[in-house]
Amino acid sequence: MELNQVKQVAAKVYKVGKDRVKIIDETRAREAITRDDIRQLVKEKAIIIKSKRGTSRGRARVLKAQKKRGRRKGPGMRKGKKTARESRKKKWIKKVRAQRKKLKEIRPDDYRSKYRMVKAGFFKSVKHLLSAIKKE
């Protein structure tokens, strides 16, 4: 049998395309007549059925590694508002807790009034709070 025909029959037997059939031993492949002969040749690795080619994940892995390192977070990659990444409430909680912690550490004379000012959102940051305490 011609090699082209052997390829075609092997492709039909294994339900794959002709491109996935690779003939290693051409002389033995030419001698094959029946489908059973072809199956035997595949078993003996005289004919190889290549595995299916999928989508490469190589590029995806590189991107993932970069993102893990904190890259690719610039303004071009962001979607939505600023508050979509961190809500206003979460931001507020972080700010207030930090200020209250610092207040507790320092414990100034007018602690209560400063505490209420923190609650009211008067201070922008811990630094702002400290500068206000230092002024007095």
State the pLDDT confidence band at 3, using cuts at 50, 70 and 90: very high
pLDDT at 136: 83
Percentage of residues of the chain with pLDDT beyond 90: 96
Mean pLDDT for 104-127 is: 96
Judge whether 66 lies within some domain: no
Of 41, 42, 45, the C-alpha closest to 28 is 41
Judge whether 68 lies within some domain: no
Judge whether 7 lies within some domain: yes
pLDDT at 63: 98
State the pLDDT confidence band at 34, using cuts at 50, 70 and 90: very high
Q: At 14, which CATH number?
A: 1.10.1650.10
Judge whether 11 lies within some domain: yes
Number of domains the chain is built from: 2
Residue 106: domain span: 82-135
Judge whether 120 lies within some domain: yes
pTM of the predicted protein model: 0.53
Judge whether 70 lies within some domain: no
Same domain for 45 and 86, yes or no, is no
Mean pLDDT for 9-16 is: 96
**Per residue in 59-110, pLDDT tens?**
999 999 999 999 999 999 999 999 999 999 999 999 999 999 999 999 999 9
* Helix 3-13 vs helix 35-43: crossing angle, to nearest 10: 80
Q: At 113, which CATH number?
A: 1.10.1200.60
Question: CA separation (Å) from 85 to 13, 79, 88, 89, 96?
Answer: 55, 9, 10, 12, 19
Mean pLDDT for 37-64 is: 96
